[in-house]
Amino acid sequence: MTVFHPSIKDQNNISFSVRLDWLNDLKGIITAHDTKGPIYVATPPAFGGEGMNWSPEHLFLGSIASCYMSTYLHFAGKMNLKITHLECQAVGQIELVEGKYKFTHIGVFPTIYVDDHTSVELADLAMLKTKKQCLISNSIKADIIYNGKIARASQKAS
C-alpha cells in the first residue's frame, strides 16, 4: 500500500515526507508525491555497496549544498542582486565516535559569480545571511565550516 503525505505548512510548522522502497541487495528508491522522478539509492562502497547510485551520505551533503543554493537565491532575490552562476561543493568527514559513525566536520565551498564589482558587497552580504539562515545546516550537529568566494563572471572557467 502506498501512502504519501503532502508537504504541510501552517503558521509555525512545515512537514515534508518521502518514501523509500527497498529494491534488492543494498539498493532502494526514494519518492515523494510532490517531486518529479525518483532517486535511486544504495549503500556506498565504504560500507560494502557497489557505489553506482546515490548514497545516504551523498544525499546528506547534497541537501546541505542545495539548501545553501535555495537560501542564497532567496536573499539575492530580496536584494535585487543579479548573479550569473552559483556553484557549491560540500565535503563531509565521517569518523567513528564512541562506537558510532557520524559526520563530524563539513566544509561548504560556495562560489558566487557576479557581472560587476559593484555587486560584490551585496553578494557577500547574501552569503553571510545564507550562512545564518540555511535550514538544513541549522539542523545538523556536525561542525560546518563555510569557505565562500565571490568572483567576477569573467573569471568562471567554462
Spatial distance between the Cα atoms of 116 and 15, rounded to a whole number of angstroms? 39
Tell me what pLDDT residue 55 has: 98
Report which residue type is found at 74.
H
Assess whether 85 and 146 both reside in one domain. Answer: yes
Q: Which three cell numbers stand for residue 94?
A: 565521517
CATH code of the domain covering residue 91: 3.30.300.20
pTM, two decimal places: 0.90
Tell me what pLDDT residue 107 has: 98
Tell me what pLDDT residue 1 has: 41
Q: Give how many domains the chain has, as a whole number.
A: 2
Domain range spanning residue 22?
8-47
Chain centroid to CA 19: how far? 19
How is residue 130 annotated by DSSP? H
Assess whether 35 and 98 both reside in one domain. Answer: no
Assess whether 90 and 126 both reside in one domain. Answer: yes
**Placement of cell 557576479 in the chain:** 114
- Average pLDDT along the chain, 158 residues, taken 10 residues at a time: 60 90 97 95 96 96 98 97 97 97 98 91 97 97 97 78
Tell me what pLDDT residue 65 has: 98
Assess whether 97 and 19 both reside in one domain. Answer: no
Assess whether 102 and 74 both reside in one domain. Answer: yes
Tell me what pLDDT residue 5 has: 57
Assess whether 26 and 79 both reside in one domain. Answer: no
Angle of helix 120-133 relative to helix 56-78, nearest 10 degrees, comes to 130
Residue 3 resides in a domain: no
Q: Phi, psi (5° rounding) for residue 141?
A: -80, -30
- Consecutive H or E run containing 42: strand 39-42
Residue 2 resides in a domain: no
Spatial distance between the Cα atoms of 84 and 86, rounded to a whole number of angstroms? 7
Tell me what pLDDT residue 118 has: 79
Assess whether 94 and 113 both reside in one domain. Answer: yes
Tell me what pLDDT residue 153 has: 86
Rg of the chain in Å (alpha carbons)? 18
